[in-house]
Amino acid sequence: MRRPGRRLPAAPLWLVAALVLVVLARPAAGGAWCIARSGASDKALQTALDYACGPAGGADCAPIQASGLCYLPNTLAAHASYAFNSIFQRSRAAPGACDFAGTATVTVTDPSYGSCTYPSSPSTAGQSRSPGSTGTPTSLSPGGSGSSGGLSPPDIDSTDSDAKVLDATSLPSFALSCFIYILLQLW
């Protein structure tokens, strides 16, 4: 809606708007990955890994199986990191998607190594299993049952000092929304 008595030149305004949209629409130079938190207990990591590789989690855990490219190093933290990142990338790095009961954290350093490449986008995060299919959880603990009993990624706890309130991937969307709001106010 135009305000009486104010007229803005249309061509420069639309040129600026187009330029801002092009800049905001470009993918970020770096990426973000979800990995196991270094201080997480083995029990908590195993439970979260069982969830991630189970039917409810839906992670692509084939690369961390014995014949997979990411099996070595055969450690709980390495396997959990790969599974957590699979879910994180499939969720398009949504806020809260990298928590796993406090056992995970977001990093901007690519955790890939050797022939093991961590997905960095939904298109490279592997094939999603169909609902109701059973995955093969990776159990490294002796006598592990391979089932978590219903663990699901929790919402961000406001008392958690490590919680991420604003995810870095939402900043361009927020900036674009602010720009459009200001543009409409001037129009």
Domain ranges of the chain: 28-138
Closest C-alpha to 81, from 54, 61, 55, 66: 61
Mean pLDDT of 118-133: 67
Q: What is the pLDDT of residue 186?
A: 77
Q: Is the domain covering 28-138 a CATH 1.20.58 domain?
A: yes
Which among 91, 68, 89, 93 is positioned nearest to 78, based on CA atoms? 68
Q: What is the pLDDT of residue 127?
A: 57
- Rounded to the nearest 5 degrees, what angle is found at the Cα of 85, between the Cα atoms of 131 and 111? 155
Give me the sign of the Cα torsion angle 134, 105, 79, 44: negative
Predicted pLDDT of residue 21:
53
For the segment 79-88, the average pLDDT, to the nearest whole number, is 96
At 105, the pLDDT band (50, 70, 90 cuts) reads: very high
Q: Report percent pLDDT > 90 for the chain.
A: 45
Q: Say whether pLDDT at 74 is over 50.
A: yes
CA distance 87 to 97: 7
Query: For 162-177, what is each residue's pLDDT tens digit?
Result: 434 344 445 566 667 7
Return the closest-CA partner of residue 108 out of 153, 154, 165, 168. 168
**Helices then strands (H, E): number in the chain?**
4, 2
Q: Which residue has the higher pLDDT, 113 or 5?
A: 113
CA distance 134 to 64: 16
Look at residue 2 in the predicted model and tell me its pLDDT: 53
Residue-wise pLDDT tens digits, 136-149: 444 443 333 333 33
Q: Cβ(58)–Cβ(128) under 8 Å?
A: yes
Whole-prediction pTM: 0.57
Average pLDDT over all residues of the chain: 73
pLDDT tens digits along 14-63: 556 655 554 444 444 469 999 999 999 999 999 999 999 999 999 999 99
